[in-house]
Amino acid sequence: MKRIEYFKRGEQDPAPLEKSVLRVVRFNEIDPMNIMWHGHYASFFEDARVALGDSYGIGYQDFYRQGFIIPVRRMQIDYLSPLQYGCEYEIKARLFYTEAARLDYDFTVLDADGSVHARGCTVQLILDKDQNLLLAKPAFFEAFCQKWREGKL
């Protein structure tokens, strides 16, 4: 199956940053059809996004301590096949480099056999604590992006 590309990479852009989270479908997550309820996928994306951000020092709390918030502006989920009770699965998050003051993530949900069950993306904007939209990256995030561009992460 052809990979869905949510974000275009420029020729000079560094490779996306990646992080995975492993889970097992729990009983309270399935619906009466014995499949994962579709509404849970947003929280799966959140789990992987938090793990990636925290592992690189650019998570929610890191932004907040610097005086910024990063709310989700856009979310898309493409369901390909349902997960079932007891299934082990992985949520892969990738953060794409962009010159804009935002965070572009894509996600893949796959089982232990490598079958892809869902894909999606989120875009998070960067706002100050008064909820004013930033048009340029905050200094601490720009410094992070510079290291990323230089391959020093």
Phi, then psi, of 139 in degrees rounded to 5: -55, -45
Q: Please report, for residues 26, 32, 46, 111, 147, the alpha-carbon distance to residue 75 in angstroms, rounded to integers and kept in the order given.
A: 24, 26, 11, 22, 27
Question: What value does the mean pLDDT take over residues 56-79?
Answer: 97
Topology of domain 17-148 in CATH is: Thiol Ester Dehydrase; Chain A (3.10.129)
* 3-class secondary-structure state, position 63: helix
Q: What is the pLDDT of residue 73?
A: 97
Say what the pTM is: 0.94
Per-residue pLDDT reduced to its tens digit, 17-59: 999 999 999 999 999 999 999 999 999 999 999 999 999 999 9
